[in-house]
Structure 1
Amino acid sequence: MDAHEKKAAVAAYKERKSISGVYAVICNATGEVWVGASRNLEAQQNGLWFTLRLGHHIHKSLQAVYHEHGAEAFRYEELDRVPEDYSDMARKDELKRRKALWQQRLQAEGLL
């Protein structure tokens, strides 16, 4: 990849739209579920696995189960997407509403 192609790839990466929505972290070994909402689902998944691997996730219950069963026992699922045409304020409110709905549906603990 030459410098021009690299520069174009970086620019395209920066211009891509992030996907907002609700996600679940599920432990296949125990059936436990944690639900969260994010303005960027892709980055959320990467950050979540990173902090769990380091042993520093803010939610102690999730970290404890992860430590006990290991990464292979967990999966990340996108549950719901908020349309791109929502304003920032409306998106924030919609994420909260949808997260609460999914927490109730799945009888799950909430993630920040």
Structure 2
Amino acid sequence: MRHEDRKVAVAAYKERKVVAGIYLLRCLATGERWAGQAPDLSTIQNRIWFTLRHGSHRGRTLQAAWNTHGENAFAFEEAERLDEKALEAGRERVMKARLMHWCAELGAEAV
């Protein structure tokens, strides 16, 4: 990649709109569910899949299910997108409350 192209790509990446929210991971083989929060929903799946592929995910039950059933048995979904207005009341507090809501609603384990 040429230097100019790289600079343009980096600038575009920095200017993109980041959307925080709650995501859901589902094991299609067992029906187990895990929910998590992310400051950027557009990048979280790659991060999670990377840690699971390398056996280093912090969620023990999630990692065990991944090891048993494999990548093709998992689905990633966005449960809720949180706009900046919703997060004005305190980002961490709001995201934690929404995560607990979705865990209770779906019977999911928080990761």
Settle same-fold status: TM greater than 0.5: yes
Tell me which residue corresponds to 1:36: 36
The count of corresponding residues between Structure 1 and Structure 2 is 110
The CA RMSD over aligned residues, in Å, is: 1.5
Does structure 2 retain, via aligned residues, the 8 Å contact 1:25–1:34?
A: yes
Tell me which residue corresponds to 1:96: 96
Which amino acid in 2 is paired with 1:52? L
Q: So what's the TM-score if we normalise by structure 2?
A: 0.90
Q: So what's the TM-score if we normalise by structure 1?
A: 0.89
Tell me which residue corresponds to 1:73: 73
Q: Which runs of 5+ in 1 are unaligned?
A: none
Q: Deviations over 1:14-43 (max 9, x none)?
A: 221221000000000000000111111122
SS at match of 2:24: strand
Does structure 2 retain, via aligned residues, the 8 Å contact 1:82–1:91?
A: no
**Equivalent-residue separation in structure 2 for 1:93 and 1:6 (angstroms):** 37
> Matched residues, percent identical?
44
**Equivalent-residue separation in structure 2 for 1:26 and 1:5 (angstroms):** 38
Which amino acid in 2 is paired with 1:41? L
Q: Deviations over 1:54-109 (max 9, x none)?
A: 0111111100100000000001100001112333x622211111100000011111
Shift, 1:2, TM fit: 5.0
Q: Which runs of 5+ in 2 are unaligned?
A: none
The 4+ residue runs of structure 1 with deviation greater than 6 A are: none
